[in-house]
């Protein structure tokens, strides 16, 4: 995870995209649109996820995947619908991370079989970590990402690169891993800003300037207020806001309410103002 103290917001509203923009998002990126973070095992929530066709992509923690695989003998394909995209992530509480080494994490991923995995999280904090500690955490995260990608080459699960930090030099540490893996789509964890908008927007803009990704999956920011101000590279947003918007917090999931909220949220994805220095003349390819 990456966390820093937030400030205010002074951005202007961007123009809304057309329906053609929405279909383009879906076609051009490994993941796009709303990603529903789910709690498992939870029978009420699972029923909603299985029954609602507008829930297309789900994300769950590596600890949840472990419980499903170890205790319930479930896989991504048996617990969710066949047509749903499943992402597992290590962006979880530090206490959980401390109990999980790379080989245990790899074993869980192989047995559970998600479509995508965000591996080897190492938290980066300000101001409790020195620059050297921040460097080591980002370096370890990138080493782990490459280690996972190598061992999952012939597996159904694809590994995402998580862009770490908030400063230019933080993000530059992630670039070699992107190049070696031939990845230009990244994940950015944006929780911990206490509802403020300006600072996470600024951090994402720094990410775009330094890494020039084709697309970004953002975790922890699903508000329209944030997404309409985010750079257009933000094409997917993961979080748990769907529970409140669909009525699931009151144990009554309304598919129509969920679909309407999802459509309104996805209108804002990829619609922000492009940064003048975000364009690159060279694009990372599959061969790096």
Residue 25's nearest CA partner among 219, 174, 236, 166 is 236
Residue 14 has pLDDT above 90, yes or no: no
* Contact status, residue 138 vs residue 174, Cβ threshold 8 Å: yes
pLDDT score, position 125: 87
Separation CA 139–CA 177 (nearest Å): 10
Q: Cα–Cα distances in Å, from 102 out to 109, 151, 189, 223?
A: 11, 11, 20, 33
Residue 167 has a pLDDT of 96
Q: How many CA atoms within 13 Å lie on the side-chain side of 82?
A: 0
Q: What is the dihedral of CA 30, 63, 1, 7, to 10 degrees?
A: 90
Instruction: List pLDDT tens digits, range 224-279.
Output: 999 999 999 999 999 999 999 999 999 899 999 999 999 999 999 998 778 766 54
pLDDT-based confidence at residue 26 (cuts at 50, 70, 90) = low
HSE-up (13 A, CA, CB side) for residue 19: 1
At 274 the pLDDT is 85
Assign 106 to helix, strand or coil: helix
Q: Which of 17-26, 195-204, 261-270 is predicted most confidently?
A: 261-270
Tell me the C-alpha to C-alpha distance, in Å, between residue 149 and each of 89, 98, 157, 276: 14, 21, 9, 32
| Alpha-carbon distance values, 61 to 51, 110, 195, 251, 261 (Å) | 21, 15, 22, 22, 24
The pLDDT tens digits of the residues spanning 124-166 come to: 988 889 999 999 999 999 999 999 999 999 999 999 999 999 9
- Domain annotation for the chain: domains and CATH numbers: 2-268 (3.20.20.70)
Dihedral sign from CA coordinates of 221, 227, 229, 233: positive
Res. 1: pLDDT tops 50: no
Q: 15: buried, middle or exposed (CB in 10 Å: 19+, 13-18, 0-12)? A: exposed
Could you give the residue ranges of the DSSP H alpha helices within the chain? 19-28, 43-51, 62-70, 76-79, 94-98, 102-112, 131-151, 168-172, 175-181, 198-211, 224-227, 242-246, 255-268
Please check whether residue 236 is in contact with residue 31, taking contact to mean a CB–CB distance below 8 angstroms.
yes
Q: So what's the pLDDT on residue 163?
A: 98
- Is the predicted pLDDT of residue 204 greater than 70, yes or no? yes
Neighbours of 66 (CB within 10 A): 20
C-alpha closest to that of 214 among 236, 199, 189: 236
Q: Is residue 185 pLDDT above 50, yes or no?
A: yes
Residue 187 confidence (pLDDT) above 70: yes
Average pLDDT, the chain: 87
pLDDT above 60: residue 19: no
Question: What share of the chain in percent tops pLDDT 70?
Answer: 84
Residues 4-30, mean pLDDT to the nearest whole number: 50
Of the listed ranges 18-27, 38-47, 114-123, the least confidently predicted one is 18-27
- Reported as a single tens digit per residue, the pLDDT across 34-62 is 999 999 889 999 999 999 999 999 999 99
Q: Which percentage of the chain shows pLDDT scores above 90? A: 74
Q: Which residue has the tokens 């123009």?
A: 15
For CA atoms 208, 115, 221, 66, give the dihedral sign.
negative
227 or 23: whose pLDDT is higher? 227
**Residue 213: predicted pLDDT:** 98
């Amino acid at each position: 995870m990456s966390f820093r103290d937030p400030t205010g917001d002074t951005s202007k509203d961007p123009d809304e995209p057309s329906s053609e923009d929405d279909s383009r998002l879906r076609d051009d990126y490994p993941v796009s649109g709303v990603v529903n973070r789910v709690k498992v095992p939870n029978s009420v929530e699972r029923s909603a996820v299985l029954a609602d066709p507008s829930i297309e992509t789900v994300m769950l923690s590596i600890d949840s995947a472990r419980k499903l695989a170890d205790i319930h003998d479930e896989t991504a394909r048996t617990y969710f619908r066949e047509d749903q995209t499943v992402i597992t992530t290590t962006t979880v509480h530090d206490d959980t991370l401390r109990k999980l080494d790379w080989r245990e994490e790899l074993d869980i991923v192989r047995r559970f079989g998600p479509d995508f995995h965000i591996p080897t999280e190492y938290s980066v904090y300000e101001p409790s970590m020195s620059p050297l500690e921040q460097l080591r955490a980002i370096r370890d995260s990138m080493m782990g990402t490459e280690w996972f990608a190598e061992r999952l080459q012939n597996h159904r699960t694809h590994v995402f690169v998580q862009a770490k930090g908030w400063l230019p030099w933080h993000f530059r540490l992630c670039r070699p891993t992107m190049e070696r893996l031939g990845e230009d789509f990244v994940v950015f964890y944006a929780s911990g800003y206490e509802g403020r908008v300006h600072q996470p927007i600024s951090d994402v803009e720094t990410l775009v300037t330094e890494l020039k990704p084709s697309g970004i999956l953002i975790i922890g920011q699903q508000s329209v207020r944030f997404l309409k101000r985010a750079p257009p590279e933000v094409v997917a947003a993961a979080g748990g806001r769907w529970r409140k918007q669909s009525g699931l917090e009151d144990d009554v999931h309304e598919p129509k309410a969920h679909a309407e909220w999802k459509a309104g949220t996805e209108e804002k994805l990829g619609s922000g103002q492009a940064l003048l220095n975000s364009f690159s003349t060279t694009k990372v390819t599959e061969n790096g």
